[in-house]
Amino acid sequence: MKKIKLVDLISPYLEIKEELFKEWEKIFQKMWLFLGENVQKFERDFAEYCGVKYCVGLSSGTEALHLALRALGIGKGDEVILPSFTFIATFEAVWMVGAEPVFADIEEDTLCISPSDVEKKITSKTKAVIPVHLFGNVCDMEPIYELKKIHGFYIVEDSAQAHGAEYRGKKVGSLGDVSAFSFYYTKNLGALGEAGGITTDSDEIYENLKLLRNHGQISSYASINPGFNARLDEIQAAILNLKLKKLDRWNTRRREIAEIYRRLLSGLPCQFQKTKEDVKHVYHYFVIRVPERDKLVEFLRKNGVDVGIHYPIPCHLQKAAENYGFKEGDLPVTEKVSKEILSLPCHPHLKDEDVEYICSLIKKFYS
């Protein structure tokens, strides 16, 4: 039986393997493992790629979100608006700084945060809004910019799933005051383990972040503020440098695969994630909303296709958030979508015939 993985972690590694071992050998000859020349190169190149002045390499996407909020001075007594339909880390970052999470519903077509619900949730305590560019789509930013003009909150992009995505010709990573990236090894731009980073145009935030990631040290063993251990290491940065060169090609292939899915699944009871005008999606996953989702998952898995559910439980209904008192019914669109959503394989090394096989199975299931 054919076996198709949701994410292919081996093929991207094989593409860079030869060069990677040479780069690693150079690192191991020096044994300078943190914040060295590989990290500096990646920070320069990724900032340039995103079209901003700075990138700060960090140990994970969760730390990126956490330190982004901290660098903006957000904490106790402040409210942060975020979607509940996201990975739990987006919520955790708000919890980590002691601010109040305020969940906004999503748009039923883009599956990203709904600007009109954000507007309803704004109060005098709102200090930041976190648009999560989910599955590689880009949030509808223009109405959020309009609200920012009136209310003066910060925009913290959660770009963990959207490296290289574009909005009106600008890259994700340049659409807010700060942008948090995960380079976890399954991401469109992934290391071989844990890694993350923040992009920003602000000199002040950049200087603040460099201290926060490294125990507040301005020089060896001289700390001017308590900080964290959240540095990107040289071994991961060397991988990211090699993979960054391939990101655009890989994202183009993801878009080709998405087109095949759309063509072959049209006419079936599958709803696709829509993009706003002038958005370049990078399809971290190709998601569909379907009836009898759980039976379809079982059927596809039985036939060798690994699929995912992102996300079966929205953040506001997670046990981890029980102390905040959210309840079923708070976010109707989010709750409905979480029961219907299904992620199909959409990685750049997937073959056309694999996509055709997956679509033929879905057709069979609904016939």
Ligand X SMILES: Cc1ncc(COP(=O)(O)O)c(C=O)c1O
- What is the H or E stretch that residue 332 is in? helix 332-340
**Residues 183-202 within binding reach of ligand X (CB under 6 A):** 184, 196
Count of beta carbons in the 10 Å neighbourhood of residue 13: 15
Residue whose CB is nearest to ligand X in the complex, by number: 61
For residues 294 and 300, give the distance between their C-alpha atoms in angstroms, rounded to a whole number. Answer: 10
CB-wise, 65 or 362, nearer to ligand X? Answer: 65
Longest dimension (CA), the chain: 68
Binding mask 251-290 for ligand X (x = CB under 6 A): ----------------------------------------
Classify 17 in phi/psi space as left (phi over 0), alpha (psi -120 to 50) or beta. alpha
Q: CB-wise, 87 or 286, nearer to ligand X?
A: 87
* Residue 60 lies near ligand X (rule: CB under 6 A): yes
Q: How far is the CB of 260 from ligand X (least distance, A)?
A: 24
Q: Check binding of 87 to ligand X (CB under 6 A).
A: yes
- Out of 84, 86, 179, 273, the residue judged to bind ligand X by CB under 6 A: 86
Q: DSSP letter string over 193-213?
A: S--EEEEES-HHHHHHHHHHT
161 touches ligand X (CB under 6 A): yes
3-state DSSP assignment of residue 358: helix
Q: How many residues does the chain have?
A: 367
Hey, what are 139's tokens? 């949030």
182 is a contact residue toward ligand X (CB under 6 A): yes
Q: How far is the CB of 183 from ligand X (least distance, A)?
A: 7
Least distance in Å: CB of 306 to ligand X? 17
Report d(CA 167, CA 147) in Å as an integer: 18
Residues in region 88-107 near ligand X by CB under 6 A: 89-90
Q: Which residues bind ligand X (CB under 6 A)?
A: 60-62, 65, 86-87, 89-90, 132, 158, 160-161, 182, 184, 196
